[in-house]
Amino acid sequence: MRKLLYKILILLIPVLLYGLFVLIVDPFNYFAVSDIIPLENKRAVAYIENPALFNLIQFNRAPSENITISDSRFADKDLHLIESRTGLKFTEMFIFDGMIKDIISGFWFANSRVKLKNVYLSVNFNNFFVTQRNDLVKSSETIINDPLLYAANLNILKAAVKCLKYADAGMKDTVYKISKTDLEENWVRFLSVTNMRYYKNYTYPAEYLEDLKMIKAYCDNKGINLYFVIPPTSTDMQSLVDSNNLKPQREIFVNNLARISKTYDMDFPNPLTFNRKLFYDPVHIDKSELTRLFISIVNKNIKPDSVYIKEY
């Protein structure tokens, strides 16, 4: 018996060491018990391996009743400034490269974690389409709900190794930062990829519209305030709608959202969207401008003749 226990212990040692390794490095900050790897380094590595998982874990740790749910273009707002100007404490849930199916799943994920009060769903025309891609929120939620699955996931192991590799490199979160040298090249490439990926074979997602109606009905029943926000993109990005003859579908998209719930549209030609200097790339506007716009929306301080926000 003693020999058998000894053999079992020998077999368990690698497992225990690996478990300790994951617990200490913890590349997605799941356990949040070790700060050997700075959070900014974890975030930078996680955004390469699985940004949706990292952001959902962060939200899961500190949810609030007031939230914005979006892809990256409506994220990284100045939450402290928003709280000071609106009196409301917000938490962001964002899914990097998220589609409409991810935004919808994001609402139900948030709803399962906290009693919601004010929900701002960010939806843009170029992520509102039929896609066969896996639901990033649901796949991440499976991992979040199971610590053992987290530890055994290959993405976690790869990210942990990268965290150690860059531990002394001072790696920063550079999701939105693009060097001036590469700006034009990246700008053109971004537009080309978006055009081919979203607009060339666009299919209007009627099934997801029904899902949004279900969310609205649920919110009305639970006393939750639901708003749709269409974030600003550059006029270069907006022009792809016209060049692909999708303007009628885009108008249907806005009108359908407005029929469901209060909608704020910022994605049209105006002094902000014309100004390329305010954008990191064709869809990510300067975060201070985004924060300012959102504060106006939350405070309902939008004039009927506003040149920046259309209220429906």
Give the total number of structural domains in the chain. 1
What letter does residue 223 receive in the DSSP assignment?
Answer: T
Q: Rounded CA gap, 23 and 16, in Å?
A: 10
Quick one: 4 exposed, middle or buried, by C-beta within 10 A (0-12, 13-18, 19+)? exposed
Q: Is the pLDDT of residue 169 over 60?
A: no
What letter does residue 289 receive in the DSSP assignment?
Answer: H
Indicate whether this model's pTM tops 0.75.
yes
The model's pLDDT over 225-264, given as tens digits with 9 standing for 90+, comes to 999 999 999 999 999 999 999 999 999 999 999 999 999 9
pLDDT for position 167: 65
pLDDT for position 175: 44
Task: Tell me which residue range forms the domain holding 86.
Answer: 2-311
